[in-house]
Amino acid sequence: MSLYKIRVAGLEDILQQDVIDLKSLRDFCFYGIPDCNGLRSLCWKLMLGYLGPKKDTWSATLTKKRELYKQFIEEMVIPPGDGEQGRSSCVDHPLSDGPESNWNTFFKDNEVLLQIDKDVRRLCPDISFFQQATDFPCESVVSHNRERKLHIRVAPTTLSSANVERKGLGVTKQINLITKRATESYEAMDEGLEAHWEVVERILFLYAKLNPGQGYVQGMNEIIGPIYYVMASDPNLEYRKHAEADCFFCFTALMGEIRDFFIKTLDESEDGIKGMMAKLSNLLKEKDSEVWTKLRDQELYPQYYSFRWLTLLLSQEFPLPDVLRIWDSVFADEKRYNFLVKVCCAMIVLLREQILENDFASNVKLLQNFPPMDIKVVLKKATSLE
């Protein structure tokens, strides 16, 4: 039996238990989840806390969460007056500007939606997946008039784009983090169909609505992309059918852990982005003082290159398959983001010869555009930094 098959059998044995041993699961997944049989999708659900360790609770949990997500769509995506609740009331009016007006909220939401729409149309441009049609479009959206599709609400003929800055707590913020850009933004599907990016747009919109203190920040699209890809690629038909709802709750759980990265007022906290960059700098000083000294002397501080690495969990630095492999280890590590710091440190150490030879400009370019590298080498180095 091949080593790969042995690993698949080993993981399936862990998952067959009536009560999942989460420590054994994490220990196994830390070294990579086999890319077959929907194992990654299930393991991520468990490691992110969407599913509990007791298997007999899974069915009830999934049914409850998926029904709740349907309710979110009905209440927050369907335009006022177009849903079941709207048909029973004629009090509200599109021209109303009162604070209790659903229509007033609807138009304010479009400001947030405009930024989300722009970002999801460029999601993971290296693969065609997000441009393709989902096999399971949201029936309550595609089976009615096109106004239920969120991108229709912010079509260019309706709204013009505005740049938004990240300023503490607020509805919409922007961080200049994204390096990968599609040459053209993705097109919408014909009536009755939905592209995967349209589904992601709806998830992010609902997340922003349900988390008004944080809202939507540019870069969240890069965090949700790999999660949705894993859920929507599950070979299990039932899981794939509910990929949108499952992705929403897994993304929400992950954002609950890394929200400090996206809120400027929390930057100075230990778990804020500045705290994480300080940890990276201290680890590099400990593991390779020569490289640390070179970067310090050049005044090439971590914020010049690692801000994006840490905030987006390296989703912009590696191809999607490598990102999935990194996240297997990050999600499996109980200390979680300490290992992320180790991966970032390993990336720097592996470039030590070039860094020591380069001038400031060359090192900035090198670190901001991390060169292709075998992810196994990076993770092995990161593990050795323990």
Of 116, 320, 135, nearest to 230 by C-alpha is 320
Using pLDDT thresholds of 50, 70 and 90, give the confidence band for residue 310. Answer: very high
- Residue 217: phi, psi to the nearest 5? -120, 135
Report the pLDDT averaged over residues 321-325: 97
Question: By C-alpha distance, which of 327, 360, 363 is closest to 348?
Answer: 363
Structure tokens at 271: 């778990």
CB 80 within 8 A of CB 91: no
Q: Which of 45, 28, 204, 246 is nearest to 114 (CA)?
A: 204
- DSSP calls for 303-367: GGTHHHHHHTTTTTTS-HHHHHHHHHHHHH-TTTHHHHHHHHHHHHHTTHHHHHH--HHHHHHHH
Q: What is the pTM of this model?
A: 0.87
pLDDT band at 262; cut points 50, 70, 90 = confident
Do the beta carbons of residue 83 and residue 74 sit within 8 Å?
Answer: yes
pLDDT of 98 higher than 60: no
Give me the domains of the chain, ranges plus CATH numbers: 35-79+102-156+190-258 (no CATH), 264-384 (1.10.472.80)
What integer pLDDT is reported at residue 87 of this predicted model? 42
Residues 263-303 pLDDT 10s: 765 556 666 888 899 999 999 999 999 999 999 999 999 99
Q: How far apart are CA 70 and CA 72, in angstroms?
A: 5
**What Rg, from alpha-carbon coordinates, does the chain have?**
22
SS3 labels along 276-291: HHHHHHHHHHHHCHHH
| Structure-block tokens of residue 263 | 């809120």
Share of the chain above pLDDT 90, in %: 66
Write the pLDDT tens digit of every residue in 50-66: 999 999 999 999 999 99
Q: What is the mean pLDDT of residues 171-181?
A: 42
DSSP per-residue letters across 195-239: BHHHHHHHHHHHHHHH-TTT-EETTHHHHHHHHHHHHHT-SSHHH
What integer best gives the mean pLDDT of the chain? Answer: 86
DSSP conformation class of 185: P
Average pLDDT over residues 154-181: 43
SS3 295: helix
Confidence grade of residue 183 (pLDDT, cut at 50, 70, 90): very low
Residues 324-339 have pLDDT tens digits of 999 999 999 988 789 9
Q: Which residues are CB-neighbours of 350 under 8 A, at least 6 positions away? A: 373, 377, 378, 381
pLDDT category, 78, cuts 50, 70, 90? Answer: confident
Q: Are 206 and 77 in contact (CB under 8 A)?
A: yes
Looking at the DSSP bridge assignments, the partners of residue 133 are: 195
The pLDDT value recorded for residue 8 is: 95
Q: Residue 140 — pLDDT band, cuts 50, 70, 90?
A: confident
Per-residue pLDDT, 336: 77
179: its two tokens: 């390096």
Say how far apart CA 367 and CA 50 lie, in whole Å: 35
28, pLDDT greater than 60: yes
Q: Half-sphere exposure of residue 79, counting CA atoms within 13 Å on the CB side?
A: 15
Q: What is the mean pLDDT of residues 197-201?
A: 96
The model's pLDDT over 205-240, given as tens digits with 9 standing for 90+, comes to: 999 999 988 899 999 999 999 999 999 999 999 999
| pLDDT range class, residue 178, cuts 50, 70, 90 | very low
